[in-house]
Amino acid sequence: MPSEVRHLVDSGQTHPLVRLTGVLDAGTTAAVRSALLDVLAGAPEAVVLDVAGLRVAQAGTLSVLREVLDETRGWPGARLALCGAADGTPWDATGWPVWPDPAGAFAALGAPGDGFRVSQELDPVVGAARRVRELITEACVRWDRPETAGDACIVATEMVNNVVAHARTPMRVLLARHDDTVSVAVRDGSPVLPRLPGPAPVTAYGGRGLLLIDAVAVRWGGLALADGKVVWAHLNPGRITA
């Protein structure tokens, strides 16, 4: 009988708590990766993973947690914590801080920053980019980062217009303040990730729009998800503009 891993996301905690139950082996690592990336795509400050109900059939399969950590290190850069690990299992190899129970993990992570994350659900219609620019300008002023609003609006406009013109799926725009930087991200239902090769249409990722994002962002990238992708960028408030 094939093995199975179930996941339950408890969003009622100070940070999302993901509980895994079942058997982790070569056949279930993809499901674990997909579940964790889906939570991380919401750009939480932190995520707690409870593995008390997870049996590790093959120690090598724990590498999936290391891969998730590495894949999301640039964005959303959430703090990760693991709890409920069974004695004798090499959880430290995952790179995740390990705590005996959820209470210890939540205590170590502390409370999330107040009001430093905003999001907006949008349809792929004309005018979506204008609404996002309004959202960004308001948030950057509220966060005392008005100098970042211009670059953030440029990046968001390119990302949103690409969804409107090409992906044509509902999207979710996420804006967050991370210490000295501000991040912009757009999640849509298209699996096509952005890339930077040769010439392409102006409105397409890989064309001038992506080059513009590359010019103003500290760093940017794309995160593949089971139902689409997230494209993200970090903006530097101290960037000198002409």
Domain total of the chain: 2
- 240 falls within a domain: no
Q: Do 11 and 82 share a domain, yes or no?
A: yes
Among the candidates 109, 144, 166, a domain finishes at 109
Domain boundary among 66, 84, 109: 109
Spell out the long-range contacts of 81-84 with Cβ–Cβ below 8 A and sequence spacing 24 or more. 81/46, 81/47, 81/48, 81/49, 81/105, 81/108, 81/109, 82/48, 82/49, 82/51, 83/48, 83/49, 83/50, 83/51, 83/52, 84/50, 84/51, 84/52, 84/53
| Predicted confidence (pLDDT) per residue in 102-135, tens digit | 999 999 999 988 889 999 999 999 999 999 999 9
- Residue 29 and residue 95 in one domain: yes
What tokens were used for 14?
């100070």
Q: Is residue 55 part of a domain?
A: yes
pLDDT over 50 at 206, yes or no: no
Give the whole-number percent of the chain exceeding pLDDT 90: 74
Are 97 and 175 part of one and the same domain?
no
Residue 56's nearest CA partner among 29, 30, 38 is: 29
27 is a domain residue: yes
Last residue of a domain, one of 109, 140, 160: 109
Q: What is the reported pTM?
A: 0.87
220 pLDDT more than 80: yes
Domain containing residue 9 = 5-109
pLDDT, the chain, mean: 90
The stretch 193-218 carries a mean pLDDT of 70
Residue 198 has pLDDT above 60, yes or no: no
pLDDT of residue 237: 73
CATH number (domain holding residue 102): 3.30.750.24
If asked whether residues 103 and 151 sit together in one domain, one would say no
Q: How far apart are CA 159 and CA 205, in angstroms?
A: 8
Does residue 75 have a pLDDT over 60? yes
What are the structure tokens assigned to 59, written together? 């120690």
The answer to whether 221 and 165 are in contact (CB under 8 A) is no
Pairing type for strands 46-56 and 79-83 reads: parallel
In this structure, is residue 242 part of a structural domain? no
Q: Is the domain of 38 the same as that of 89?
A: yes
Tell whether 179 and 208 lie within a shared domain: yes
Q: Residue 203 — pLDDT band, cuts 50, 70, 90?
A: very low
